[in-house]
Amino acid sequence: MNGMGEETGFEVVIVVPKGKRKEGGDMAEKGDSVEFLVRELEKAGLIVERFRGVPAEFLKIAAPLIVLGQAAAELELKKLTYIGMELQFEWDMVTAFVRQPDGSLFSWYERYSCFRHLLYGIVNKTDSNIALKFNDKDIKYEKNESLLKRLEIEGVVKQVFPLHDEVKRKQLLRKWALNWLDFTWQPVDEIYSYFGSKIASYFSFLGMYTRWLFFPAAFGLATQLFDFGRMQFLVLPSFFVFIISWAVFFFQFWKRKNSALLARKYFTFFLRSPDFVTNDSFMSGLAYMERITDNEVLFRHVYAKAEKGIGCFSVLWGINYSLNECKAMPSEANEFNYTDPIKKKFYSSRPAEKTSIQADEWWGIFRKVRNNVIVVLGIICLQLPFELTYAHLYNITQIEVLRYLLTAAYLIAIQYYTRIGGKVAVALIKYENNQGEDSSAASLVYKVFGLYFMQSYIGLFYHAVVYRNLGTLRKVLIQRLIVSQVLENLIENSIPYVSYNYKKYLALHKKKNDNSSPMGKNVRLSTRVEKEFLKPSYSASIGADLEDGLFDDYLELALQFGMIMMFACAFPLVFCFATLNNITEIRADALKLLAMLRRPVPRASATIGAWSNIFQFLIVMAICTNSLLLICLYDQEGKWRIEPGLAAILLIEHILLFVKFGLSHFVPEEPAWVRVNRLRNVSQARDLYSKQLLRSITKLEHKDD
């Protein structure tokens, strides 16, 4: 225990090669780099356990809570206090800050950020370079250089990754991954505590999406099982109207749920602290707020930032900027002269600097448009002919088995093409003026989805529009759903297992053939750290530096959503296939994260981000494509005449477009209780902060007199 009710466990591991060196202090005196790293880690207050495994040597790292707290203060992390305001963390005022749902002080994202700060914050503070060695290789550790980065460059440190917590992992396995009886139920709080907000948001979205799929699945099943007699001609138009309305309301209610998830910590606070006056933690928060605003130097810093409307305290006024966006701002905008904050002019009011910022903004827009044009031209000139060739070969092939084989070969071949396109997209993003990693990740999502949109749907459009053969279109939909979903799930879950066992075989085989090994032929992996080292990481197939494995999971959901929505009228039963697939997907993804992969590196995002715009785009496309499908069903002769039936379909299309862009405003994106609590927090923060600012201004004026 760390003194505050939290256990101190090993959460991060550093992997180094098994060098040809002796154990003990003799080599440390000669400059052994690993021994030197261990000593520096211990000087930083970290707990280090070193041991040699079969594939490599491992340094397990743990940190007492006080060390993490000091690192959080150095990182200037913003945390929620018991007065409803987010303030910069300080260790000596720890009781003023709200704890996590599981009772811990820091979230998993905050803890891992502190670990990275501690590990990579070890620098050479001496006045000279330090000579280190590893396996007779000389290493020059320069002044003011990060030790861990230098060792990574030299190949001494192979990897740094987070460890699974075995107790919590097994609890989630039993309660979530292996619990098939609850279908779509998700323990969101436990997922958030263990994996972070981004993965918790994904599973919350997947669970809600799957539950809502039961409604169109039931309607689609009814259209196939029942004969509606004279009203049969109204079934598909009614189904069309229903699924578009369903999709619009689903995303509006998802926005409400996402707002509730983001505000859950505030709601928990109000439940725990109904009486503000007698709440000790609330009073600690007030004391902390009063202390930081009574400090003259800090006040000048806060006042300058408040005057300019930017900076760390902007969250108090209901404006949230991500840390990446703040870091991406011009460095001059973050430099303040505190000698006279009241008379200092705004940074943006300087004409020359304002012109420069505007020029950078428009030049960044131009580069982004240029890159998007390059991607679109690549899709039209390279991918479109390939897709049309596959669609034509599929149409002229009469043997059903050959069609399945052709589809499988096409899906495998297109993966390589898409990976090449993804690498090009990542290279183009480097030349864009994106504000932070979130903006770059969004740009990657749009570009890569364009590639997948073409490969996934152009063949279906070909059968629907050119041949107008809805029977063939239904067969293609079934084959795509069965082959692609089964193939993707098989690859997604089998590759980590095969990769792990292959690496395990190589490590054990190498150890058995090592004549110097004292274990001889009796070699096995005895620790969970060794096993986790051999497991694959949770990374994106495209743009791993910008996205994690959720990129592929969201992409799979978006492609499925587009397929079932855009061709719903051709095959209403497709929603049943999607529902069954998603029920399986929830448990498969949970099992993959908990058993087959390393613990993912946490990310701060708590929304589905750019994928929300992708889903909204697919709803608009669904209105257009289903209208076209209904026209093909109605106008069987292909004369395209404006008759009552055709006119009714066009009218339905315009009405649904109005529903998409108009009806969504009838469902508020934010629940009333979230809005009330948010406004209450902003009002309390404004009143309290204004009084402290006025008090501090009065003190400054008296000092000047």
Q: Are residues 661 and 513 in the same domain?
A: yes
3-state secondary structure of 50: strand
pLDDT tens per residue, range 68-114 = 999 999 988 888 887 667 788 888 888 888 888 778 889 899 999 99
pLDDT band, very low/low/confident/very high, at 457 (cuts 50, 70, 90): confident
Q: What range does the domain containing 279 cover? A: 269-312
State residue 114's pLDDT score.
93
Same domain, 599 and 691: no
Residues 607 and 658 in one domain: yes
Does residue 246 share a domain with residue 128? no
Q: Which of 187-201, 334-348, 384-398 has the lowest mean pLDDT?
A: 334-348
Would residue 253 count as lying in a domain? yes
Q: Is the pLDDT of residue 271 over 50?
A: no
For residues 80 and 16, what is the distance between their CA atoms, to the nearest angstrom? 38
424 found inside a domain: no
- Please determine, for residue 526, whether its predicted confidence score (pLDDT) is greater than 50: yes
> Of all residues in the chain, what percent carry a pLDDT higher than 90?
18
Task: Answer yes or no: do 442 and 573 share one domain.
Answer: yes
Domain boundary, last residue among 399, 418, 433: 433
* pLDDT-derived band at 258, boundaries 50, 70, 90: confident
In a domain, 414, yes or no: no
**What average pLDDT score do residues 527-541 get?**
86
**What is the pLDDT confidence band of residue 185, given thresholds at 50, 70 and 90?**
confident
CA 286 to chain centre: 34
Return mean pLDDT, the chain: 76
413 belongs to a structural domain: no
Q: In whole angstroms, give the CA distance from residue 361 to residue 343.
A: 28
- One-letter identity of residue 608: I
Tens of pLDDT, residue by residue over 643-655, are 555 666 667 776 7
Confidence of residue 614 (pLDDT cuts 50, 70, 90): very high
Higher pLDDT, 468 or 333: 468
Q: Residue 268: what pLDDT?
A: 42
Q: 153 and 101, same structural domain?
A: yes
CB 457 within 8 A of CB 532: no
Interatomic CA distance for residues 201 and 608, integer angstroms: 7
Residue 354, H or E segment:
helix 351-378
- Looking at 120, 140, 163, the residue that finishes a domain is 163
Do 13 and 3 form a contact (C-beta atoms < 8 A)? no
Boundary (domain end) residue, out of 130, 163, 196: 163
Most confident of 421-430, 502-511, 692-701: 421-430
DSSP 482-502: IIIHHHHHHHHHHHHHHHHHH
**Which ranges of 596-665 does DSSP label H, i.e. alpha helix?**
611-634, 644-662
501 and 623 both lie in a single domain: yes
Q: Can you read off the two tokens belonging to residue 359?
A: 């020029």
Phi-psi region of 311 (alpha: psi -120 to 50; beta: other; left: phi over 0): left
Whether 572 maps to a domain, the answer reads yes
Average the pLDDT over each of 67-81, 214-228, 334-348 and give the range with the smallest value. 334-348
Q: Is the pLDDT assigned to residue 456 strictly greater than 80?
A: no
Residue 329 within any structural domain of the chain: no
User: What tokens does 264 get?
Assistant: 């859950």
State whether residue 137 is helix, strand or coil: strand
- Residue 243 has what pLDDT? 92
**What single DSSP character describes residue 48?**
E
Report for 125-134, 201-210, 516-525: range of highest mean pLDDT = 201-210
Residues 6+ positions from 574 with CB-CB distance below 8 Å: 220, 477, 481, 563, 564, 567, 568
- The pLDDT of 193-214, averaged and rounded, is 92
| H or E segment to which residue 12 belongs | strand 12-16
Instruction: Tell me, yes or no, whether 324 lies in a domain.
Output: no
Pick from 272-281, 317-326, 500-509, 613-622 the range whose average pLDDT is largest: 613-622
pLDDT attached to residue 39? 92
Distances from the Cα of 500 to the Cα of 165, 399, 510, 530, 637, angstroms: 19, 39, 15, 11, 58
Place of tokens 């009806």: 663
| pLDDT at 117 (0 to 100) | 93
The set of residues, in sequence order, having a beta carbon less than 8 Å from that of 614 and lying 6+ positions away, is 445, 446, 449, 558
pLDDT at 365 (0 to 100): 79
Domain count, the chain: 5
In a 13 Å sphere around the CA of 684, the CA atoms on its Cβ side amount to 17
Q: Mention every residue, 6+ apart, whose C-beta is less than 8 A from residue 97.
A: 79, 80, 81, 82, 89, 105, 285
What single-letter amino acid sits at 162? P
| CA distances in angstroms from 614 to 298, 562, 608, 619, listed in the order given | 43, 9, 10, 9
Q: Please tell me the distance from the alpha carbon of residue 439 to that of residue 590, in angstroms, as a whole number.
A: 28
Residue that wins the pLDDT comparison between 376 and 314: 376
Residue 14's pLDDT is what? 93
Q: Which of 633, 626, 522 is nearest to 574 (CA)?
A: 626
Tens digit of pLDDT for each residue in 3-40? 555 556 899 999 998 866 454 444 444 568 889 999 99
C-alpha to C-alpha distance for 106 and 582, rounded to whole angstroms: 32
Among 269-278, 344-353, 370-379, which stretch is predicted with the lowest mean pLDDT?
A: 269-278
pTM for this one? Answer: 0.79
**In angstroms, rounded to a whole number, what is the distance separating the alpha carbons of residues 422 and 542?**
6
State the pLDDT confidence band at 295, using cuts at 50, 70 and 90.
Answer: very low
The stretch 307-322 carries a mean pLDDT of 34
Q: Which has the higher per-residue pLDDT, 480 or 598?
A: 598
Q: In terms of pLDDT, which residue wins out, 353 or 508?
A: 508
Whole-number percent of the chain with pLDDT over 70: 73
pLDDT tens per residue, range 469-478:
677 777 777 7
Same domain, 589 and 643: yes
Asked if residue 240 has pLDDT above 70, the reply is yes
- Same structural domain, 456 and 397: no
On the question of pLDDT at 557 being above 70, the answer is yes
Across 206-212, average pLDDT:
94
- Tens of pLDDT, residue by residue over 362-419, are 777 788 888 888 888 877 777 778 777 877 787 788 787 887 788 778 777 777 777 7
- Percent of the chain as helix, strand, coil, to the nearest 5: 65, 5, 25
pLDDT of the residue at 519:
55
Which of 107-116, 208-217, 277-286, 365-374 has the weakest average pLDDT? 277-286
C-alpha dist (Å) from residue 671 to 207, 262, 487, 638, 642: 20, 12, 40, 49, 45
Note the pLDDT of residue 294: 45
The answer to whether residue 422 sits within a structural domain is no
Angstrom distance (rounded) from CA 106 to CA 117: 15
**Do 10 and 120 belong together in one domain?**
yes
User: Minimal CA–CA distance to 383: which of 453, 442, 445, 304?
Assistant: 453
What type of residue sits at position 563?
Answer: M
Asked whether residue 85 falls in the same domain as residue 148, the answer is yes
Same-domain pairing of 61 and 199: no
The answer, yes or no, to whether residue 669 has pLDDT greater than 80, is no
pLDDT at 523: 66
Query: What's the length of the chain?
Result: 705
pLDDT at 516 over 70: no
Alpha carbons 421 and 370: distance in angstroms, whole number: 16
Between 699 and 262, residue with greater pLDDT: 262
What 3-state class would DSSP assign to 548? strand
Q: Quick one: pLDDT at residue 216?
A: 94
